[in-house]
Structure 1
Amino acid sequence: MVEFETALREDIKTFLSEVPCHPLLVRLAWHDAGTYNHEDKTGGANASIRFEPEILHGANAGLKKAVDFLEPFHAKYPAVSYADLYQLASVVAIEAAGGPVIPFKFGRIDSEACTNDGRLPDATKRMPHLRDVFYRMGLSDKDIVVLSGAHCLGAAHKDRSGFVGAWTTKPLVFDNEYYKNVINGDTKGLLLLDSDKALCDEPELEKLVTTYAEDEGAFFADYIESHIKLSELGFPA
């Protein structure tokens, strides 16, 4: 543990208690890391999302607010890289929302090299597209199902994604309700995108969804593993 980690975590938790933006911080970390290409080693968790043109990509609409939220933390703890700060804030937000405690390592290096647009998942598409995106990152079908579970937090906004609504009845609580709703299908008042429905397109995927819907502990255990993989994409060797 670096010397300032405990203090930084507590500061982020205090901020979240005053400004409950847990989903936004998770989305920032995801969108920064999710640009990774394991073949050419470009993108990844390197904080390039804070620069134009990447922050202006359509998939990143609304995330400038998250970048601005975390700026004072970087000013207070200048020894932490932006890349580490974005990923740590996500981990703290998940824990503060009732989710699992996710181990964290510092050492990510900031970059100004923005990636091309189009590397993040398209919510209107199903498994072939999701596999293209996640396999490019070096992730698996299981990671697709597990990481989709983070949709338990937050809601879609018309001015950001074009969609409106929350995936669950408690959008500030990290739990396994998302999977129950995926199994139940379209439910009045709740959001279910094509990329969510895709998790039941194949028997093996649906089996995982069912497991997580029935066993929150199994979801949390697997989520820890997949989240670490995501948050360390492009991590220095």
Structure 2
Amino acid sequence: MELTNIPYLASSSSSSFYSSYSRCTCRGKRAGNLVITASAAGGRCAADLACSQLVEQQNEDALSGPRSSWHYRRREFASAIFLPLLLPHVDVSSAAETYNESIIRSGVRNVLTKAKAAGVLRLVFHDAGTFDVSDKSGGMNGSIIYEVDRPENTGLNRSIKILGKAKAGIDDIQKVSWADLIAVAGAEAVALCGGPEIPVRLGRLDSSTADPAGKLPEETLDAAALKTLFSTKGFSPQEMVVLSGAHTIGGKGFGSPIVFDNTYFKVLLEKKPQTSSSGMEAMVGLRTDWALTEDDECLRWIRIYAEDQARFFDDFRAAYIKLVGSGATWRTA
């Protein structure tokens, strides 16, 4: 288990978590959150000028109104460039390591494509899905890297290899746990395919062992059994339905495999088998997807999300944040 104490970035826009050393400090803000803090122990830092320029640009942006995507990308790029220059001056024996979300997101974007997005998002569900609220076991802890040989996790080794490449590059700048990396990567996968932007709190610790087996939903479960299972993980029927909407991407047959939208719910409302050109029943979704339409409470939410994609995006964002916090053990400053 990685025990290094590292300050984490909270998703709340009303608070910032950062470490402070001496003299030279470079701070950047995004959406009200502190996303970069670096400083050197003793003396003036060689990057003082660059830091002051970044701060001046931030002040200009604050006065001029909403930031354009060009300004945002320029600042994110500058953060990625200057942070490695500053970190070598830090006395790590006496100061906590900076923990920067933009570094992780940039690393993920370097290896992620729309074609790989569904597999990466599935990785999130299979890591967090082992959580059991009764004994607080399992959850978002990176244990999925020890569980890829289980039948329910077939194919996830490819996504782990993809993120492993990102992790190697990120670790050269700052250490990142598998749990944080997977949580951020899932949010990036959703956004890359046109879904909502999802903030991710950082600071999860990794497990050093596999979680108990048999905690994920089986594909043969009916709606009643699914509702019972999700309740043991702390999720309501509404949250279960909205999270199931993640099946809108991938190869399950709900619309475009690389577009995150509300097509999943629209297809479920058709309530008829999808057939191929040969007349054989096509593999559209899982038995558990169609089971949702057989429950009145679930069906009500399916109709809501089929009619209102913005509502789907908002509710999915909230449920995803809850999912990647399930069972997590957090670093302390």
| TM-score (normalizing by structure 2) | 0.64
User: Alpha-carbon deviations, 1:168-225, whole Å to 9, x = none?
Assistant: 2301110000001111022224503221112122222111100100110010011011
2:256 counterpart of 1:170: yes
Q: Tell me which residue corresponds to 1:46.
A: 141
2:143 counterpart of 1:66: no
The verdict on how the C-alpha distance between 1:12 and 1:69 changes in structure 2, with shifts beyond 3 A counting, is: same
Q: Tell me which residue corresponds to 1:36.
A: 131
**Bigger Cα Rg:** 2
Helix, strand or coil: the match of 2:260? coil
Helix, strand or coil: the match of 1:36? coil
Q: Tell me which residue corresponds to 2:49.
A: none
Q: State which of 176, 186, 197 in structure 1 corresponds to 2:290.
A: 197
Q: Tell me which residue corresponds to 1:159.
A: none
User: What is the letter of the counterpart of residue 139 of structure 2?
Assistant: G
Structure 2 Cα separation of the partners of residues 202 and 24 of structure 1: 28
Q: Tell me which residue corresponds to 1:163.
A: none
Q: 1:73 offset after TM fit, Å?
A: 1.8
User: Alpha-carbon deviations, 1:119-138, whole Å to 9, x = none?
Assistant: 11112221122123211111
2:114 counterpart of 1:22: no
Structure 1 Cα separation of the partners of residues 195 and 247 of structure 2: 12
Q: Which has the higher contact order (CA 8 A, sep 6+)?
A: 1
Structure 1 Cα separation of the partners of residues 253 and 189 of structure 2: 18
Structure 2 Cα separation of the partners of residues 236 and 7 of structure 1: 21
Q: State which of 245, 251, 259 in structure 2 corresponds to 1:149.
A: 245
Q: Tell me which residue corresponds to 1:158.
A: none
Q: Which protein is richer in helix relative to its size?
A: 1
Coordinate RMSD, CA, aligned: 1.6
2:282 counterpart of 1:187: no
Helix, strand or coil: the match of 1:56? coil
Structure 2 Cα separation of the partners of residues 46 and 7 of structure 1: 20
Helix, strand or coil: the match of 1:117? coil
Helix, strand or coil: the match of 2:107? helix
User: Alpha-carbon deviations, 1:132-188, whole Å to 9, x = none?
Assistant: 321111111111100000000102xxxxxxxxxx23230111000000111102222
2:171 counterpart of 1:84: no
Number of residue pairs matched by the alignment: 224
| TM-score (normalizing by structure 1) | 0.89
Structure 2 Cα separation of the partners of residues 10 and 147 of structure 1: 25
Structure 1 unaligned regions, length at least 5: 156-165
